[in-house]
Structures are given as structure tokens and as C-alpha cells.
A and B are shown apart, each in its own frame.
Chain A
Amino acid sequence: MFEKLIQKGLEKSAWLYHLNTGSCNGCDIELVSVITPRYDAERFGFKIAGSPRHADIIVVSGPITSQSRDRLIRTLAQVPEPKVVVSLGSCPRSCNVFNGSYCVEGPLDKYAPIDVSIAGCPPKPEAIMAGLVRAVEILKEKRRAMK
């Protein structure tokens, strides 16, 4: 009955959960700049949620360090379906300059399927916005597949 409204809601109001798995803080600052008045992602309904239970899109930044690996797995399991995993920057895809370090256990796709990856070190806010819009499309597809 509400399926159309739910689809519209998913399109217009995706909440982000930002998960830092040992990032150098560059990508985190760029993600925060997306919600500042200059770029204002809230006009598309994006909002940073405090708890993984409220999230639709999980944004992972940083190579997976051994300290954060268990937390990553547990946090991803806590997010309700449908959910989309977005990798932010080069680190979650390739571990970037941290590759081969004794404390890095990445890349991210060992632990979770990545739906959208945003390239850059750090990516530009425009690129992050484009990635998030793509993530919303995937979110809607996943909801359709759930039915």
C-alpha cells in the first residue's frame, strides 16, 4: 500500500553513518564539508545519523586497521536492511600508502560487498555528492529486491 511512498522516501531521505576505520582524517573532513552551508547535502535529505540502527548508507573511510576490523564487522551487522556500503577515498579499496603495514587488514571488500566507491585522496565534496546520489539509486533497487 505504501510502497510508492516508501520508494519516494528512500530517494529523498537517506541517512548516513560515518565509520572511520583508521582513516587519516582527510576524508572525514571532506565528508563533513558536504553537510556545511556551501554544499548542503541536507537539501537532498542526507543527514548524518548518530547510530548505525538509523542509517541507510554506511560510509567507510580508512584502511581497515586490526583494531577497527571487529568493530567494522559488528557495526555493519547492526544496520537494518536495505543498506548500502560506500567506500570513501582510496584507503578502503586498496589500503593506499598504508598497504603492507603490520596493523592494516584491508581492503574493505574482504569483509563487506562495496556498492559504491568514491575515488580520491581525499575525494572532492562534489565527488562525494555524486557517489551518494548513486548510492541512493542502489538503495532503491535493494528495496525492490527485498519485496
Chain B
Amino acid sequence: MELLKRILYILFYPGLLYCFVGGLVLAGIDRKLLARMQKRVGPPIWQPFYDFFKLLGKETIVPRNAAKRAFLAAPVIGLISLITVSLFIPVFKFSPFSTYADLIVVIYLLTIPAVALIVGGSASGSPYAGVGISREMVAIISYELPMVISLLAIAKKVGLELNNGIMTFSLSQIVEYQAQNGPLFTKLSMIPAFIAMLLVIPCKVGSLPFDIAEAEIEICEGPLVEYSGAPLAIFKLNHAIKMLVMTSLFVTLFLSGSGTGILAVDAILQFILSIVVVFFSITILKAITARLRVEQTLRFYWTYPTALALLSLILVYFGL
């Protein structure tokens, strides 16, 4: 019975089906909102589904000088790790697997899709992909620092209250803290970390001011340049799911609470909050900015978001 329940979790709600539908709908809403901001009609909200199924129907070409196995396996590895992350993120108090995992596992699993992009790009043997993967590495280095520092601040803040002053990385404890004391973003010491994480999301999902790795106009989508057909469809799906997973992680970290107790209502609430986060951190930035250069991205992340995250950590130690 327990096993059956686990399988249902993996296949349906926080797992595969939810990631597929939720991620693609979120991507569609993002595109539609962006179009409305630019005074366009924009594609329908189901547009990412059309893109996905169209790409499934196209021929898959493997270039002659590509490493075939790594080239075809990379998107699938990224997809699997993203679905695993989704299983570990609690939806308010409902958390199917989170007793086994905490923030550290989530941080590592969230790096795997980027690594899969690097592996796939380097396996394709294209010079554009080569430029793309070097940029992707710079992107990883730049967003990882402020993200980890702001997660440390959260861990210390929750640990001071619930774990005798020792840092806690347990996601269910973070939710527990918010159920008792209100959402974390209302705390004074957490506001800088809140802003820092909001700035990390666009680089993590590779959206416009920080999409240096997949710059469509400069380097033809970088690591994806040689992909076609089904593997490309899975990479596009990964993109959408990354958006869903990052925003639901953000909601769990800062906007969570005790919820209503009914799973369906909580799930819908979490998804609506995800849409709001996407709107503020991805869509508005995408509509008002142009792409930064590689070293500008690195400099941006290692100054302002890092400073904000550090400020948050210091404020936590002062007990605010």
C-alpha cells in the first residue's frame, strides 16, 4: 500500500504529470503575459504544449561527430532530476518524500539540469555549443553563491527557533516554522534574502537578462544548437519544469504556512503563488531589460544579490 502510494506520488501529483502540465502551463502564462506587456496578442496559453508535441513529430538528427549516447541521454537525465526535486518540495504541509531530503539535496539536484545541458552541449560537438557551455558554467558560478548564502540565512533563522540554534536544512521544518510564525518574507531579516532569491530565479531558469548561455541571437541557443526532434522537446520541457520547480521552491521557502489542510486547495494555491512569482521575477524583467554580457552577469550576481544575502545572514545573527 505504501509502495503504491509512492508510485502514485511519483507518477501523478508532485511528480511526472504535474511537472509536465504545470510547467508547460506556467511557461505559456509567462509567454502570454510578456506578449501583453509588449502590446501584442501573444500565443495561446497552450502554446508550449503545441511546441512540445510538434517537436515530438520531427526527425531526430544526431550529428556525425557527436557522442551519440551522451547526446541523447543528457535531456532525460535533466528531466529525471527535475522531477525528483519536485517530489522533495513540500506543498504547504503536504510533503510526500521530504523526510528523506532537505535543502542540500535540493541544491545538488537543481544543479544537475544545468550539468545535463553542459554534457549535452559538449557531446554535440558544435562550436556554438562550446561557447554556450562555457557561458553556462559562468552562469552556474554566478547564481550559486547568492543562492546558497540566502539559503544559509533561512536555515539559521529557522534553526534558531526550532533546532536549539543549530542550522536546520529540513524543508518540512522550514514550513513548520512558517506555520507557527507566519511566512518568512514578513520577517525583517529575511527581506534581503527574499529579494536576492527573486533575482536568482531568472538566471537559474535562463530567462532574458541572464540567458547568456542560450542567447538565441548571438550563439543560436548555445548548447541546444544541434538538437532537433524529441531530445529538443525534452530540453524545452526541462526549461518549463525548471521554472515551476524554482518558483515552488521559492514559495515553500518564503510564502509558505500551514495551508488549508486540503491537498487540492493547497496545490492550487501553491500554483497561483508560483504564477505570481514568475510574473515578478521573470516576466517583468524579461519585458524591460536586454541581455547582459557574460562578465556583467558574474559581476551583478557577486555584488548586489550576494550583498543582500550576506546582509540577511548578518541580520539573522543579530536576532532580527
Contact = CB atoms under 8 A, between A and B. Distances in A.
Contact of B57 (A10, A40, A42, A51): A10
Nearest to B232: A54
Task: Give me the 3 closest cross-chain CB pairs, A-B, nearest first.
Answer: A9-B54, A6-B57, A50-B220
Contacts, number: 93
A16 B53 CA distance: 17
A9 B57 contact: yes
Interface stretch (A78-86, A104-112, A121-129): A78-86
Contacts of A82: 58-59
Interface residues of B, number: 36
Interface of B: 31, 35, 38-44, 47, 49-61, 128, 216-217, 219-221, 224-229, 232
A10 B224 CA distance: 20
Given A9-B54, A50-B219, A54-B232, 8 more contacts: A13-B51, A13-B54, A42-B40, A42-B42, A45-B43, A45-B51, A50-B216, A82-B59
A5 interface: yes
Interface of A: 2, 5-14, 37, 40, 42-43, 45, 49-51, 53-54, 56, 78, 80-82, 143
A2 B51 CA distance: 13
Given A13-B47, A45-B47, A2 B61 contact: no
A12 B220 contact: no
23 contacts: A7-B57, A8-B53, A9-B49, A9-B53, A10-B57, A12-B44, A12-B47, A12-B50, A13-B54, A14-B54, A37-B40, A43-B40, A43-B42, A50-B217, A53-B227, A54-B221, A54-B224, A54-B232, A80-B228, A80-B229, A81-B59, A82-B58, A82-B59
A133 B47 CA distance: 17
Nearest to A12: B50
Contacts of B44: 12, 43
Contact of A2 (B50, B56, B217): B56
Nearest to A48: B216
B54 A10 contact: yes
Chain B CB within 10 A, most for which of A8, A9, A82: A9
A10 B128 CA distance: 27
A82 B229 CA distance: 11
Nearest to B222: A50
Contacts of B51: 9, 13, 45
A49 B54 CA distance: 14
B42 A40 contact: yes
A2 B155 CA distance: 45
Contact of B43 (A42, A54, A78): A42
B229 A9 contact: no
B240 to A, nearest CB: 14
A53 B50 contact: no
